[in-house]
């Protein structure tokens, strides 16, 4: 079996694209085979790639249906061919979705699979009809069941419950009414029937058990959801008018990275902003921390520098880690930002500047292009005889920067403010995606992330990265990528995380 094959049992929800989950949207965009149910809206079928194989296996009562054995065969067959298969089911896969049978077959054939929830009409239809299923005074619980085979139901027990939600019961309306009345429900018990819930064809009928068959006479009640109980009366009392939006495909949020899986290699705890931004653009984001930030082995040099902070002309900060650890240590020494009153501050990058702003300070200088290499070239004043404090990472820092400052006549005092190490373990999700060649792009925001990524991957069996796009935040990182991978596919024009994201978007659009 091809190791890349996988089946996704996906809930299509109500059919309205607006109620599709983000995960489902992403999977549809990268599906190679789509096996879908009868009640799946045609609009959802337009979300798959043009070359996706689409197979209709829908089951509708009283009409020719695809046997479950044939559906099982198709799932296994295409998975074993190495395809990404989306098994699209109306509603939620685990609510009358026959998923258990399909999962058992997939497991029996060692096929990988994943279940993705969807919005079920059992609770969405009452909501969109303006009917609360629970109420402190009249409904403390509700039961959901299918009336597809009414003879198998315990009607005596069901009749005692406050609120009933019935699926697949349109053709059994007379039996439902008869059984509930037989077991003691009042003829005046309110009932609502919602057809095609959440779609442009949605219709609602309300009455009571005694008259609902008269109200719906001659109407085709499929597919419908029935709600029975006093909560139905709340619809009129609340005068509920639930708005339903039907976005066209071209009105969906702009998601240029939809269907792309992007591996983000940032320090542990620092990748959330990058992740969230990429996710809003439609990407499936996997985080693989390649840096662990911690205090330095000794605070002695930094503490001594802080004790004589007034002797320095400039403070150089090249990262948010440098800012955070420097000011945290400043506080432990009983000082705050006021101690820097006579010291000018230079920072590298807008993100570092924002971190400094959180300390109530604005930088005196930010080099163009947001890279440290341009710091000396564009420095705003002569460096001759200037005393410069440079709190930096303990190992693997910017030796070239220090050398250039020194050549210009500056007295540079380097002190360890924090340490960055390679993690001992790799994220299981990241390793799995890499080894199964399920990653489209890997992002690198520093030379050290490149080096640590390669070390981690080598320590855990390696992976083929030939088809993966290598994305770099700037020239120094690109140099490390060239050394490790022999190539760089994307380099940000603006050397920030935002610039890197924009470069990835441009790559995807090409």
Q: Encode pLDDT of 206-226 as tens digits.
A: 999 999 999 999 999 988 999
- Tell me the HSE value of 150 on the side-chain side, using a 13 A CA sphere: 18
For 69-82, letters b (16+ CB in 10 Å) and e give: eebbebbbebbeee
Distance CA 15, CA 246 (A): 10
- Tell me the HSE value of 396 on the side-chain side, using a 13 A CA sphere: 14
8 Å CB contact between 175 and 150: yes
pLDDT at 1: 37
Q: Which of 59, 335, 344, 479 is catalytic?
A: 59
Edge-to-edge, what's the strand order for the sheet holding 6-11?
53-56, 33-36, 84-89, 6-11, 113-116
Of the listed ranges 9-18, 78-87, 173-182, 183-192, the least confidently predicted one is 9-18
Distance CA 399, CA 33 (A): 53
Q: At what angle do helices 300-307 and 320-332 cross, to 10 degrees?
A: 70
Q: Encode pLDDT of 168-205 as tens digits.
A: 999 999 999 999 999 999 999 999 999 999 887 899 99
Which of 134, 99, 129, 104 has the alpha carbon at shortest distance from 117?
A: 99
As given in the structure block, the two tokens for residue 365 are: 């200088």
Q: pTM here?
A: 0.60
pLDDT at 64: 67
Which domains occur in the chain, in start order?
6-119 (3.40.1010.10), 123-238 (3.30.950.10), 261-291+423-509 (3.40.50.10090), 304-419 (3.40.50.10090)
Q: Which of 168, 195, 440, 448 is catalytic?
A: 168
Distance CA 254, CA 283 (A): 12
Q: Does residue 408 carry a catalytic annotation? A: no
For 197-211, letters b (16+ CB in 10 Å) and e give: bbbeebebbbbbbee
Concatenated DSSP letters for 98-129? -HHHHHHHHHHTT--EEEE----HHHHHHHHT
Q: What is the mean pLDDT of residues 51-63?
A: 78
Q: Which of 37, 41, 92, 440 is catalytic?
A: 37
> ∠ CA(480), CA(472), CA(368), 5° rounding?
100
Q: Does residue 407 carry a catalytic annotation? A: no
| DSSP label of 139 | B
- CA torsion sign for 306, 312, 313, 319 is negative
Distance CA 43, CA 249 (A): 8
Q: Does residue 6 carry a catalytic annotation? A: no
Contacts 24+ apart (CB under 8 A), 462-468: 463/431, 463/434, 463/435, 463/437, 464/437, 465/434, 467/437, 468/437, 468/439, 468/440, 468/441, 468/442
Q: Encode pLDDT of 358-381 as tens digits.
A: 999 999 999 886 565 678 888 999
């Amino acid at each position: 079996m091809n190791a890349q094959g996988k089946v996704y049992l996906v809930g299509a929800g109500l059919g309205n694209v607006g109620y599709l989950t983000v995960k489902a949207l992403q999977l549809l965009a990268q599906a190679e085979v789509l096996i879908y149910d009868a009640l799946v809206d045609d609009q959802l079928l337009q979300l798959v790639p043009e070359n996706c194989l689409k197979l209709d296996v829908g089951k509708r009562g009283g009409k020719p249906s695809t046997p479950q054995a044939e559906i099982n065969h198709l799932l296994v067959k295409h998975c074993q061919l190495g395809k990404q298969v989306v098994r699209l089911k109306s509603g939620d896969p685990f609510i009358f979705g026959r998923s258990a049978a399909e999962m058992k077959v997939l497991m029996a054939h060692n096929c990988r699979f994943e279940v993705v929830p969807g919005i079920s009409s059992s609770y969405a239809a009452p909501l969109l009809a303006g009917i609360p299923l629970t109420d402190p005074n009249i409904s403390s619980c509700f039961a959901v069941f299918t009336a597809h085979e009414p003879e198998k139901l315990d009607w005596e027990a069901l009749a005692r419950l406050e609120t009933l939600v019935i699926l697949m019961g349109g053709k059994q309306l007379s039996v439902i009414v008869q059984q509930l009345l037989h077991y003691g429900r009042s003829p005046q018990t309110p009932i609502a029937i919602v057809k095609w819930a959440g779609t442009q064809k949605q219709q609602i009928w309300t009455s009571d058990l005694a008259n609902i068959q008269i109200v719906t006479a001659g109407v085709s009640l499929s597919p419908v959801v029935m709600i029975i109980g006093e909560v139905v009366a709340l619809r009129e009392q609340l005068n509920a008018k639930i708005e339903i939006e039907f976005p066209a495909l071209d009105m969906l949020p702009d998601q240029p990275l939809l269907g792309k899986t992007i591996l983000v290699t940032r320090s542990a705890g620092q990748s959330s902003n990058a992740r969230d931004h990429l996710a809003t653009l439609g990407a499936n984001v996997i985080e693989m921390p390649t840096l662990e930030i911690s205090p330095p082995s000794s605070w002695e040099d930094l503490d001594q520098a802080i004790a004589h902070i007034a002797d320095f002309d400039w403070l150089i900060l090249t990262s948010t880690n440098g800012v955070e650890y420097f000011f945290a240590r400043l506080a432990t020494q009983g000082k705050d930002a006021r101690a820097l009153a006579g010291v000018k501050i230079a920072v590298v990058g807008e993100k570092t500047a924002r971190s400094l702003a959180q300390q109530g300070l604005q930088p005196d200088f930010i080099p163009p292009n947001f890279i440290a290499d341009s710091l000396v070239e564009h420095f705003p004043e002569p460096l001759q005889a200037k005393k410069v404090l440079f709190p930096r990472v303990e190992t693997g820092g910017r030796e070239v920067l220090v050398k250039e400052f020194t050549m210009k006549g500056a007295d540079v005092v380097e002190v360890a403010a924090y340490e960055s190490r390679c993690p001992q373990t790799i994220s299981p999700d990241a390793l799995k995606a890499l080894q199964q060649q399920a990653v489209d792009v890997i992002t690198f925001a520093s030379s050290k992330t490149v080096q640590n990524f390669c070390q981690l991957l080598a320590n855990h069996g390696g992976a083929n990265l030939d088809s993966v796009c290598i994305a770099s935040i700037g020239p120094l990182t690109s140099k490390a990528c060239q050394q490790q991978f022999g190539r760089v596919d994307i380099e940000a024009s603006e050397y920030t995380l935002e610039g890197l994201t924009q470069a990835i978007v441009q790559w995807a659009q090409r």
